[in-house]
Chains A and B, each alone.
Chain A
Amino acid sequence: MKILRKTLFRLIFILPLIGLASSLHAQSDPTGESPATRTFAITNATIIQAPGKMMEEATIVITDGLITAIGKNVNIPSDAEVLDGTDMFIYPGFIDGMANTGADRPESPERPDNLFTPDPPNYYAGITPENQVVEQIKVDENSIEAMRKVGFTISHTVPYGRMLPGSGALILLRDADHPDKLILSEGSSLYSQFSGAPGAYPGNTLGIMAKFRNLYRNAELSKSHSELYASNPTGIARPTRDRVSEAFYPVIEKKQPIFYNASNSLEARRAMRLQKELGFNLVLGNLQEGWDLADEIKSTGTKVFMSLELPKEPKDSKEEDKSDEVKRLEERRMEFYKKYVTQYAQLQQAGIKFGFSSIDARANDLKNNLLTIIENGLSEDEALAALTTNAAALLGISNMAGTLDEGKIGNLVVSKGPYFDKESQIKYVFVDGVKYEYDLKTGARKAEDGEANPAGMQALIGTWSYEFTTPQGTQTGKMIFTNESGMLSGIMTSSDGTPDVDLQNISFLNNELTFDFSIDAGGQSIDIVVEGVVDGTSYEAEASVAAFNVSFPIQATKDEA
């Protein structure tokens, strides 16, 4: 009877209150897009609370943005939306250690008239450490959804720019009506890169290294000066406001690390050289060549976010009568490919607890790259740790993210099948307790059987005449797309007589056509990513070159068959 009374009591007194609360909610949301409930329960799922800590047939409850219960015998709140977790594997939401996710790339600053190249204005030199990334964040930036779709829930987002673009922030990859609402914490890093100002000081690595030291030393002096003045201004020259120096103060106090975008081994060593000289806390982000650096990383106490970008696996020439020299060169190239893909396991063995950074990678490549890294020696648990617990620890948010524990932010990845299986697909991603649901694809398998040749593909197949517009003029040629047993394949020809290039990673979905290709520029391979929309027989796209941080338009029209 007691229980019944209690229940009745609840029905009478509490439910109306809840109703009131929700009707209040409804009033402030005339669009009606607010979720019906902010309580979710996923039942009967395999839950990986943390790397190596798995629970089967378990339930997780998320209430008002937080994980509120997890386990086998969990009371499901009456207002919960219950999701069947059969065959589902639940992981802590992934954390990206360094990315531009959510940030909108600003226009490159225009070259001022009468630029005094030895001492350009700071905005042109790219020395704006006082800026905050939140100023660049757009809530409708495509990259937020692109990264969320592949399981990322928190991004350490750094601003676009040159040498010192500003400070980074941790953002939640959720929907919001204002960038402020995405912010988990600001000032997570002072972001630095080896990007010089075009035709002005500092123009390249030489100037950047020197300028960095100069800025840092002056910031130290400026800090003592301001402190002296603050303690008693009498008789002390008034310090002039210097926001560039001020931006370094938390770094000097070791309250904020410097995140250096150091993709190659020489850049990483340069960043560590600055760290040794100046003594700040250093995090290397986007490291792509770390196999020779384990000792130095450990001895300097540097933290690392390894890049999730991998080189393409080299393909040996199929010519039958290739020379021994070509064979040897191909072997060495493969030997180095292996260094790139095995370095993760090697650094892990050396005791370096790294996270991952997606800044140079494409969202759609991330899972494949992770699987490649796992094939080459990193265990699934170690990979998961890099995606979750390591990243949280490196970013100082272990008390709110990185594992599935009561009280942590409701950031989850729910995949059908174990995530690290090639065939698994993400069904839900929860960010900050908000549910995002994805359709499970069944088409992929059918295409393999040759049953369904996606009808849309026909719209693309054929020859297209394209035109690149670069600052130096236009380049024209043909793009030829073919259907190779259900898979799209393509080549690009050039009317200036240069050799044809193969198009890679061709994706054509909902009229969005993306692909990439590499060209050889002076012995260096440059990757170009093309993304755009097909409208009937016309294609409008943008080609971007990540290596140089530039993009330019490309148009194409389909030739008459």
Chain B
Amino acid sequence: MIKTSSLFILFLCVSALHAQTKKGDVLIKNGTVITITDGTLENTDVLVRNGKIDRIGKNLKAPNGVEEVDATGKFVMPGIIDAHSHIAGTSINEGTSQVTAEVSMEDVVDPLDVSIYRALAGGVTSIHLMHGSANVIGGQNETLKLRWGSTNPDDLRFEGAPRTIKFALGENPTRGGRSRGIQPQSRMGVEAMLRNTFSDAVKYRDAWNEYRSNKSSRKVAPEYSLRMETMVDILEGEVLVHCHSYRADEIYMLMKVFSDFGIERLTFQHANEAYKVAPELAEFGASASVFADWWAYKLEVYYSTAYNAAILTKNGVNTSINSDSGELIRHLFHEAAKTQKYGDLSDNEALALITLNPAKQLGIDNRVGSLEKGKDADIAIFDSHPLSIYAVPQMTFVDGVKYFDIENDVADQRIYIDPESTVENVQIFYADDHDKCMEGANVVNFYDLFNNK
């Protein structure tokens, strides 16, 4: 009885949560509809009811009260998904420990970050808000829908998306280790730390399984560890791993470690040298989320090529292109287009890099990533083909609700404003934005604070 009523309360809570996020109805008329999974359809309409794609076809009629959007001459595509983002978070790294599987970006979602609106203006509808790369096993990430305008972080959660976690190999976590005088200080140490932590998780799982199967009323529980709970969930396939990595040798190393522990769902982030081990990645079934053409910002990122995404795609590796940046996120369609110059990918292959493929990497491809009946109405409309250098996003919908419209693009999009802020010092862009992976990994610098420069 108690169980039933608590389930009922849970149900009420869940429905209350769902009720909070807005769902829209709209009929998008007469556009060129790029479905990703079912070709490109000319002069086609997309009908959205209650946040879902209800029909895709010709000459659809708008039901009573449903707004019509004329997309004549325009291109309608699935909302762009960024598999690696650090916008909309108030903290990025808990870099003080080299294993922090217990921390979660869901605790630090910042719905007030104006970068969300800027991303919407680039046709992006979902992001993977990732923990930083300061530690070997970083925190859990959070998959978000860009429901701009709410002040409640929970409204942005991609409800039902699988949990994911950030791992990191190479220079970043070893730099953290060396600066703090702790393990790991080398790539060897990284592997040892991974194996040790998973071995600890196996022991932890055994201890709790033994406790749960113990029928005695006088049993004593083992110590609880949120960190180990998460590690066990990784072992059991409930948490998908996204690993910051650059070099082929360390990419290969992690696949071996995961094979040994029986973990299957793995996406390599950045993975600039993934092209060297593309067949091995395909065989493992691992994915890669890469930059189009960005490298040489530290030693381990020199051996890179703009053909990376194309080589991976041609080898059958599920590949996406990500931003890792509040600036690149605004034109991921340009980033995808680069694979046509470097690798001759087809339109559909190139656009899948920023839609369906990242959706698969995040485990949300049953909901988003393509325009199909029954999927969420997360849609971007462009004035010309999104792979054209002249393409400008016109409208962006999440759950059928329009969050960006270039015709109604209010200049000051801030949701909260500090009354004590100075009007003169509006900062639109800051130079350090590019390497946010390491943000927060360092201690506050008082010189910068008081220098006021």
Contact = CB atoms under 8 A, between A and B. Distances in A.
Contact of B151 (A119, A198, A292): A292
A518 B420 contact: yes
Contacts of B297: none
B260 interface: no
Given A266-B90, A289-B416, A237 B220 contact: yes
Interface string B401-437: 0000000000110101111111101110010000000
A118 B452 contact: no
Contact of B220 (A236, A470, A527): A236
A221 B223 contact: yes
Interface in A108-156: 114, 116-119
B226 A198 contact: no
A314 B91 contact: no
Nearest to B221: A221
Interface size classification for chain A: 35 or more
A27 interface: no
Interface stretch (A82-90, A210-218, A253-261, A386-394): A210-218
Given A205-B90, A270-B107, A496-B451, A311 B443 contact: no
Nearest to B132: A206
Interface in A456-480: 468, 470-473, 475
Contact of B99 (A118, A273, A289): A118
B181 A199 contact: no
Contacts of B418: 311, 336, 524-525
B96 interface: yes
Interface string A379-399: 000000000000000000000
Contacts of A520: 422, 425, 452
B110 interface: yes
A207 B446 contact: no
A199 B180 CA distance: 9
Interface stretch (A2-10, A11-19, A324-332): A324-332
Interface in B370-389: none
A218 B97 contact: no
A199 B96 contact: yes
Interface string B73-91: 0000000000000000011
Contact of A335 (B108, B417, B448, B450): B417
Contact of B421 (A296, A328, A523): A523
A494 B449 CA distance: 14
A235 interface: yes
Nearest to A237: B220
Q: Is the interface of B mostly helix, strand, loop or mixed?
A: loop
A367 interface: no
B453 interface: yes
Contacts of A202: 94, 96
B452 A519 contact: yes
A40 interface: no
Contacts of B105: 206
B153 A266 contact: yes
Contact of B218 (A228, A265, A313, A525): A228
B444 A548 contact: yes
Interface string A165-198: 0000000000000000000000000000000011
B325 interface: no
Interface string A229-249: 000100111000000000000
A207 B224 contact: no
A521 B445 CA distance: 11
Contacts, number: 182
Nearest to A314: B419
B412 A117 contact: no
Interface in A89-110: none
A333 to B, nearest CB: 6
B225 A214 contact: yes
Nearest to B223: A218
A207 B96 contact: yes
Contacts of B452: 494, 498-499, 519-521
Contacts of A221: 221, 223-224
Contacts of A204: 91, 93-94, 440
Contacts of B440: 203-204
A210 B447 CA distance: 31
A222 to B, nearest CB: 9
B445 A472 contact: yes
Interface string A468-503: 101111010000000000000000001010110000
B218 A472 contact: no
A18 B139 CA distance: 71
A333 B153 contact: no
A326 B131 CA distance: 36
Contacts of B110: 266
Given A203-B96, A472-B446, 14 more contacts: A201-B96, A204-B94, A210-B102, A210-B226, A217-B224, A221-B224, A273-B107, A296-B152, A314-B420, A325-B411, A519-B450, A520-B422, A522-B448, A525-B420
The 9 closest A-B pairs by CB, nearest first: A118-B97, A472-B447, A337-B419, A206-B94, A210-B102, A206-B103, A203-B96, A336-B417, A209-B107
27 contacts: A118-B97, A201-B96, A201-B100, A203-B95, A204-B91, A205-B91, A206-B93, A206-B104, A206-B107, A209-B104, A210-B102, A210-B226, A210-B227, A235-B218, A265-B416, A266-B110, A270-B107, A289-B416, A296-B152, A330-B423, A334-B419, A336-B418, A520-B452, A521-B448, A521-B449, A526-B449, A527-B420
Interface of A: 114, 116-119, 197-207, 209-211, 213-214, 217-218, 221, 224-225, 228, 232, 235-237, 265-266, 269-270, 273, 289, 292, 296, 311-314, 317, 325-326, 328-330, 332-337, 340, 468, 470-473, 475, 494, 496, 498-499, 518-527, 548, 550
